[in-house]
Amino acid sequence: MIKWRKASRSNASGNECVEVAALPKGRAIRDSKAPEGGHLVLSAESFAQLVAAVKADEFDF
C-alpha cells in the first residue's frame, strides 16, 4: 500500500495540492484533488531534479 502525504511546497490555500509517496526505488506524485486519476513515478534522482527545478522557479505555471 502506498502512503501518500501532502507535499510541503503545495499551495497553502489548499487549491493546488500535490501529494507524494516514497517508493522503494523512487517517488510517486499525484494530484490530491483527483487521486483516482493516477500518479507519476520518478526515480529518486529525477524527483530530486524536479524538486530543485520547482524551488528555482523554472516552470511557468
Give tens-digit pLDDT for 7-39.
766 666 566 788 999 999 999 999 988 989 999
- What is the number of structural domains in the chain? 1
Residue 38 resides in a domain: yes
Sort 12 into a burial class: Cβ within 10 Å, 0-12 / 13-18 / 19+. exposed
pLDDT of residue 29: 94
pLDDT of residue 7: 72
Residue 60 resides in a domain: no
Residue 20 resides in a domain: yes
Q: Which residues of 36-51 are buried (b: 16+ CB within 10 A; e: fewer)?
A: eeebeebeeeebeebb
Residue 21 resides in a domain: yes
- Show the domain range for 41: 5-55
